[in-house]
Amino acid sequence: MIINFFSNFINKHRKNINESSFIYFMKFIQIGLSFLIVLIITKNAGIDIYGQIALLAATGAVISSIMELRTNEAVLRFFVREMTTGHKDRAYLVIFLGLFADIIIAILVFVFFLTLAPIISKYFLKNLDLENVVRIFGLVISFRFISGTPLGFFQSIERFKTLNYLYSQETIFRVLGLILILVLQLNIKITSLVLLYVIAGGLNAIISLFLMLLVLFRMDFRMEKLKYNIILIKEFITFSCKSFFSTLTKSGYNNIDRLLLGYFFNTTSVGIYDALKKIGSILGFVGFPLPILTYGKMVRLQTNSKLDDLKRLIIHSTKLLTIVNLGFSFVIILALFPILQYMKIPSSRDILISMCIILFQGIISGTIWWGRNFTNIFNPLLPIATNILLSLNLIWIMFFLKHITEFSPVLLMSTTSLLAYIPSYCIGIGAFKYYLKNSSGYNVQIF
């Protein structure tokens, strides 16, 4: 039965499978290199240093989400629309708006880091000597913003190979830098790590912008072809603001767990927890290409009111993804203790249970791989309520469990994360089904 299912799925989606082969390869490289970074840092610098860099990354994600407008998604939505309708001048205006917003926000994010460095170093890193390190790390997040519009542009013109190279590029630079440090037999410290991350982020931003401009000029792009269009500008701003609130609440949930561990415990706990999350992120390898490959098709199906076809696309892809993720989870559990031994992380029953919880959450979250695409198509405001609920649940559940249990920090956080996620997951699925049924006249059964 399973063999027939896979055979039928491959026959129906052979074109997408062929297109996604390179995407899978690059995602495999990205996940592998990200995991290699964890191995190198934990083995040569210790889990505490890795915890510091992981905590800086989580802090940066939360701070940047306060200002992030998701310009890559706005560029994708409006560039495709304007090019499809033959308004090339408006499509170029979309690129200009995206770049302008990226640069302004990148500057503001860096100012935020400069201002909040004393608080971050004192209450989360618990080391006032790291104030300047925190300030420098702000450049890493700023450079990431500048890469937003190029990512949206290459996805909009379906240059998936270029897009996925750009997604992996910064990680590649980081690994090369770490290898160079090892070859030169230098000590890996938090300062050298942050400087390495800044250089990698800067190179990534420069190359991303250069490649986008190169393709634009080949498309006969000229500055004089830009035309002021107040309606398009308002649409761009409105969509970006809606996506901003969604991203703000989602980023809070995705990163507040590390901040809570750093605040209540220590960077070692953050390091162990983040290492387990990195191992669990392997599940994202399978589902990563799906939103990229299907976004354009989902937009066309929704535009043409072919919601039955949209439903089938989601169901077939979700079934296959769940089966494969179960297989990956089994392999991860078998290999867990040897990996932890290499990383010099003590193995324990709590660690094993935490890894199982993280994997289970990864499997169920994989069943809504289509969520971001869906909300962008129908209403970007839909995820905001569930994301707010996630963040609030995460905080109060951790406080509650912390006082009634004697869980280790990592087990406490992984349990809290799962318990906070399940109610919002159920509410989100119900809301999607209700919205589709009442807005389209179709009784769409997602599951």
Q: What is the pLDDT of residues 135-188, one digit of tens each?
A: 999 999 899 888 888 888 888 887 877 887 888 889 999 999 999 998 888 888
Range 35-49 average pLDDT: 89
Residue 251 neighbours by CB under 8 Å, 6+ apart:
61, 62, 64, 65, 68
DSSP string, 153-197: HHHHTT-HHHHHHHHHHHHHHHHHHHHHHHHTT----HHHHHHHH
- pLDDT for 82 equals 74
Q: What is the pLDDT, as a whole number, of residue 365?
A: 84
Question: What number is the average pLDDT over the span 322-343?
Answer: 89
What percent of the chain has pLDDT above 90?
A: 21
The count of residues in the chain is 447
Helix boundaries (H) for 184-287: 190-218, 230-264, 267-280, 284-287
pLDDT at site 382: 61
Closest CA to 309 of 322, 296, 297, 318: 297
Distance CA(163)–CA(178), nearest Å, equals 24
Separation CA 53–CA 190 (nearest Å): 7
Residue 446 lies in a domain: no
pLDDT tens digit string along 137-148? 999 989 988 888
- Give domain status of residue 222, yes or no: yes
In this prediction, residue 307 carries a pLDDT of 65
Compute the radius of gyration of the chain from its Cα atoms: 22
Q: Among residues 311, 306, 328, 301, which one has the least CA distance to residue 370?
A: 311
pLDDT band with cut points at 50, 70 and 90 for residue 205: very high
Higher confidence at residue 281 or residue 203? 203
**Is 238 among the domain residues?**
yes
**pLDDT over threshold 50, residue 55:** yes
Mean pLDDT lowest among 327-331, 403-407, 441-445: 441-445
Nearest to 40 by CA among 144, 196, 166, 164: 196
In this structure, what token pair is assigned to residue 445?
Answer: 């059964």
Q: How confident is the model at residue 202 (pLDDT cuts 50, 70, 90)?
A: very high
Q: What is d(CA 75, CA 96) in angstroms, rounded to the nearest whole number?
A: 9
Is there a domain that residue 433 lies in? yes
Model confidence at 218, in pLDDT bands (50, 70, 90)?
Answer: confident
Is residue 407 in some structural domain? Answer: yes
- Let me know if 346 is exposed, middle or buried by CB neighbors in 10 A (0-12, 13-18, 19+): exposed
Q: Could you please report the per-residue DSSP string of 83-113?
A: HHTT-HHHHHHHHHHHHHHHHHHHHHHHHHH
Those residues whose C-beta lies under 8 Å from the C-beta of residue 272, and which sit 6 or more positions away, are 47, 51, 345, 351, 410
- pLDDT in the model for residue 6: 43
The answer for residues whose C-beta is within 8 angstroms of residue 313's C-beta and 6 or more apart is: 294, 297, 298, 301
Whether residue 447 is contained in a domain is answered as no
Q: How confident is the model at residue 432 (pLDDT cuts 50, 70, 90)?
A: low
Instruction: Please give the mean pLDDT across all residues of the chain.
Output: 79
372 pLDDT exceeds 80?
A: no
Identify which has the larger pLDDT, 84 or 112. 112
pLDDT bin (cut points 50, 70, 90) of residue 207 is very high
- For residue 79, the tally of other CB atoms under 10 A from its CB is 23
Residue 60 has pLDDT above 90, yes or no: no
- How many domains would you assign to the chain? 1
Angle 296-301-302 (CA atoms, 0-180°, nearest 5)? 100
Is residue 132 domain-resident?
yes
Which segment of 336-340, 354-358, 388-392 scores lowest on mean pLDDT? Answer: 388-392
Tell me the mean pLDDT in the region 387-406.
86
Q: What share of the chain is helix, strand, coil (3-state, %, to 5)?
A: 85, 0, 15
Domain span including residue 45: 2-440
Question: For position 242, what pLDDT does the model report?
Answer: 62
Question: What pLDDT sits at residue 354?
Answer: 94
CB atoms within 10 A of CB 233: 13
pLDDT at residue 346 tops 70: yes
The structure's pTM equals: 0.75
